[in-house]
Amino acid sequence: MAQPERVPVASYTDPASLEGRGFVVLGAGQGIGRQTCHALARAGARVLCVDRDAELANAVAGEVQGVACVADVSVRADVDRVFAEAAGRFGDTLGGLVDIVGMADIRSIPDTDDASWSRNFDLNVRHAYLAIQIGARAMAKGGSMVFVSSISGTHSIANEVSYGAAKAALNHLVRGAAHELGPRNIRVNAVTPGFVRTPRLLAALSEDFWIDLKSYIPLRRAAEPSDIAKAILFLACDMSSYVTGAIIPIDGGLSTAAPVPHIPFAPGMQTRVAARS
């Protein structure tokens, strides 16, 4: 006869807390970055809010009682300074990094010049490489690193080959870093959003685009920045304590849907089509 299990039951609420931990957020000023700063702060973290725009950095830091830091995180000296400040303020409680920096230079392959190619890699990969390398040295007791990639890094999207190649490189960087840094108790993961209603995209794309987009997404809506921030919070805290090297789609199911037109099956037609195949 089976005996009742005596293994203690784990806590399923405490791991969601970030109380007492310091986090660095790169690209904190608006959209996903701003929402992420709020998510981390509400979970108890102290946040260093990094943005290259001083006004945006100061604004979000004021909202979350964090610390503003102005830096261009594609420059090694600036990233060194960011983590030196984080180490000075948080000490050995520095336990996390979230990197939301990224921008797409969208062009067809024939129209992509060397400058555009380099810009996509500088804006989407270089800062992540610097953040992982320098951040790992500063996170003496381990912690979590979370990066924002894109559906373009896992799927082909028209006119986004250069940008997608950069995001694919970011995904591989995340997997490799997770492998190398795991023994140091540093987890490294990424999320791959689809279309998110960030201030930049809302300014660039018409409302008609957003309305039409809904028909392509199984959940029938584009993401809000807070949708992405919730997933980042999960990966940042100990609720995901055994997750590393993961590239997680946060796209409303968009990446699961084949881009084919609706097939107008008549009643009973599906059975006949299946029988012929």
Enzyme catalytic residues? 163
- The partner residues of 247 in beta bridges, in order of sequence, read 190
- Encoding tokens for residue 129? 């490489």
Helix (H) or strand (E) holding 42: helix 32-42
Q: What are phi and psi of 144, to 5 degrees?
A: -130, 135
72: how many CB neighbours lie within 10 A of its CB?
Answer: 13
- H-helix or E-strand containing 211? helix 207-213
Q: What are the structure tokens assigned to 222, written together?
A: 């584009």
69 in helix, strand or coil? strand
Phi and psi at residue 125, to the nearest 5°:
-125, -45
Among 150, 149, 235, which residue's Cα sits nearest to residue 187?
235
Alpha-carbon gap, residue 126 to 149, rounded angstroms: 13
Q: What is the rounded distance in angstroms from the CA atom of residue 124 to the CA atom of residue 71?
A: 16
